[in-house]
Each structure stands twice: as structure tokens, then as C-alpha cells.
Amino acid sequence: MLAWSLLSATQVSPELDEHWYKGNLHTHTINSDGDSSPDVVARWYKENRYNFLVLSDHNYLTDPKGLNSIFAAEERFLLISGEEVTSGFEEKPVHVNAFNLHNTLPPMFGGSVLDTIQKNVDAILEAGGMPSLNHPNFRWAITPTELSQVRNLRLFEIFNGHPATDGFGGGGSPGLEEMWDTVLSAGNRIYGIAVDDAHVFKVFGPEHSNPGRGWVNVRARELSVKAILESLEKGHFYSSTGVVLTNVEWFSDGLQIDIVPAKEEKYTVDFIGEDGELLERSFDNNSSYTLRPGQPYVRAKVTSSDGEIAWVQPVFAR
């Protein structure tokens, strides 16, 4: 195990003998529309103390075997194979990331936005991969109603660092958090990931799709493809744009959250339930919530005084 500080990517949950692994699940290289080679992209994340990375080029599977061999010899860093399966219906883009593929998967097209999403999700699952729906508000392509009807989808992007993805909504269209609560309230068990969707590594600025803007911290038994994907499937992770949590515990009836305070920042912890209802608000760095009768789920949002956010995955009533 890498011995890093509390602000590093790896921390230990001693009760479960599990570790926290920081990773990015969506980024691009010159194999599609990125500006840098797979080696340069992977080294940026490794040097910035990430533990794992998915290279998700459009309709192209960047084989990570060679890079994994190099990084294993230097210091443990894991690349997980991936592809951004890029499709659409009429003028609306439908992009579904596929994690842990073995071959490039051709995009599927359907008779509607929903049908197109479902066909790609089904194809990814049939190929042995894990699907994740990308940037639903990109060109306002996907509605909460459509997302609520997708079957066998566990992951979608609650935050995408690309400046053109409109994650906060506007003009009467909901942001991704509101969309998430609509989907959860419809009875779906789906988890929200934060990603970079980085394309630009040579010049940095708010107008560019740069790395380092959104990430996941996954609690897993080891740094392996199987263990990371199992934890993503279970929702044993939090997503962040900068807030670091010492630990999160998902109980059968609630959540416990411990925050790593940074500088002079203060934190607001919102426990959120059905239809986006604010169930409780805390200003403590160690906060918890227990589901009450009739509450189908609780998730948490941690906001720092400088605007950074962490999203903690929901716990569902049995």
C-alpha cells in the first residue's frame, strides 16, 4: 500500500481492511479527440497522485496493457480499459462509457433517445463491461424521465469537468443533481460519478477541458480492476471536485461522513432524500444520518466554503 497523507489518494478503513483509491473514469487521448498521447495522459494522473484511470476514447479502445506494465515496474498505478461508446438519436448525442472492455464496441442506434441509450447499455453488458451514462445535459440530450426508464444502469455522471456539458442546468432544464433525485425517487438504484472528460493537457484554463476537475474516491479491498469495479457497482465511493473525506460508512439504515478540513474552509453537509428534500443540514466535520420510516433513501452533499463539492452515494431503505 502507498503510504500517503490524509490528503493523498489512498487511505485505510481499518475496520474493513479496505483502502481509498482515487481515480478518474473519463478522459481522452490522441486516439480520438484529445491532444496528448496515452502515455502523457496517464503520467499526468499518476504524477498528480491518482491511483487509477480509464482512457475512454470515442469509439476506440485504448489497450492499457503496455502502460500497466511500465507503471507496475515504477510504482503501482492502474489503468482500466474503457471506451466512450458514442452514438445519438437525431441531433441528440448519446455517449455511454464502457469500463473493462476487451475489444472496441461499435455504437448502437435506436428509434429514440431512450432506445439508443438502452441498446448501448445492453451491448456493453453483453460484452462483459460496466456502462456509465455520460453528461446527460450535453446539448440537452437526455431528460430525467428518459434516464429513469433505462434498465440495468448503475452509474451516470453527476459532474463532468468539460465546460460545455451544462451540468448545473438552466432555462427550465434541471441540473444533474435534480435529475439524480428524480431517478432515485422513481425507484432506481443509480450512483453519481464525477469525471474530468479531459481532452486538453497542453494548455490550461477554464475554457479548456482540462484534467483534475472531478474524480471518484473508491473504497476497495485492493487496487485491481475487479475490486474497483465491484465497489463502483455497490456504490462504495464518493465523487468530488475537491472536498476530501477521511472516511464514509454506508450502513443498512444511514450514512456516516468524516471530512478532512482544508486551510480555513468551513463545510456544509446536506443529507438529501426523496424528490431532493433536505432531510437534515450539519456544519460538523463528522456528521451522520439515520433513515426514518417512510424515507426510501438518503444521500449526502458536502460543500466547502470555497465552492468545492463531494457527493456521497445513497443508502436505500430495505
pLDDT in tens, 201-239: 999 999 999 999 999 999 999 999 999 999 999 999 999
pLDDT of residue 73: 64
Q: What is the mean pLDDT of the chain?
A: 93
Q: How far apart are CA 293 and CA 89, in angstroms?
A: 42
3-state SS assignment for residue 61: coil
Residues in Cβ contact with 131 at an 8 Å cutoff, skipping those fewer than 6 apart: 96, 97, 98, 99, 120, 121, 124, 125, 152, 153, 154, 155
Look at residues 126, 78, 68 and name the one whose alpha carbon lies nearest to residue 101. Answer: 126
Q: Is the pLDDT of residue 15 over 80?
A: no
Q: Is the pLDDT of residue 176 over 80?
A: yes
Q: How far apart are CA 258 and CA 249, in angstroms?
A: 9
Q: Is the pLDDT of residue 8 over 60?
A: no
b/e 187-205 (16+ beta carbons within 10 angstroms → b): ebebbbbbbbbbbbbeeee
Look at residues 110, 150, 156 and name the one whose alpha carbon lies nearest to residue 133. Answer: 156
The structural domains of the chain, ordered by start, are: 19-241 (3.20.20.140), 243-318 (2.60.40)
Task: Please give the share of the chain, as a percent, with pLDDT higher than 70.
Answer: 94
Q: Is the pLDDT of residue 268 over 60?
A: yes
Q: How far apart are CA 302 and CA 238, in angstroms?
A: 10
Q: Is the pLDDT of residue 4 over 50?
A: no
